[in-house]
Amino acid sequence: MLPRTRALCVAALLLGGCRKTPMPPADARPAIALAAFLGEPTAPQTYIEHTGTGPLLDAPGHDTAQLTEQCIPTALPDDAPTLALTQVMACRTTHPDGTVHASLHGTHAVGAVFFAHRTGDAPWQYHAPKVRVPQSFSIGDAWAAQHGSAPNAQLRRCDAEPTPWCADGAAITCVTLQVHHVSWVRNHWCPAHGHMGHEGVVVRVGAAPYWSWSSDATRSDQPLPSLPIAARPLPDLDRMADLAHALTPDRLAQLPPEAARIPE
């Protein structure tokens, strides 16, 4: 159960299953519509990506690079799975050395989804579609699904939360659990500007925590409002490490997708 939230049944349409929870009270925050939320997806955006390993975000020597992202309308590849999508786009992230990481996105009845990735001109690697932003949601909503099956199953849950960037926007935080592996990603949006920034942490048993966050974003050469990382707290790395250690194959098989959360 997702206490005091509305579970959006997106998995039923995409993957054939969803666990429902009660609707929110009538005085819940008004719904946010996908079209108004995402803004103009095709405008190029540049930002500084900060990356590093270990326990400290301000660790000396952490890496920075200026990346450029842009989504371009495209046709669904011939070898793609059959999906009822409109507005299919290839979203590309270009690194300073010219390396391009790309993902395929589309609009489905449930919302904006992504379903493939590749590097350079390599073949597309398809996966079960994952919901990026629902067609309509409110702060406090959550949605969850299982992707794949044991021993490679992924349990993924996303929560819509307030963002420190603006009062009328949202931060969507997604946690994915795999065997001895926990990832946490948060993306921020504001209606006036679209996507504002992101933070992420990956913890694997036997490896140092990996973290990343964005800053100094511009869209179509127009600077976006900026926030320091201190105003965008990351989850507790020790709790993430404890959770990763506990995620044995047997334990993961016992958990529902809604359980994909960092312990508080």
DSSP 136: E
Give tens-digit pLDDT for 170-180.
Answer: 999 999 999 99
More confident residue, 55 or 253: 253
Q: Are the CB atoms for 144 and 11 separated by under 8 Å?
A: yes
Total-model pTM: 0.86
pLDDT tens-digit series, residues 121-169: 999 999 989 998 899 899 999 999 998 887 788 999 999 999 999 998 9
Boundaries of every domain in the chain: 10-259
Q: Are 175 and 21 in contact (CB under 8 A)?
A: no
Is there a contact between 198 and 229 (Cβ–Cβ < 8 Å)? no
Cα→Cα distances 26→127, 142, 207, Å: 37, 17, 46
Mean pLDDT over 73-93 rounds to 91
* 188, amino acid identity: H
pLDDT at 16 over 60: no
- Whether the CB-CB separation of 135 and 236 falls below 8 Å is answered with no
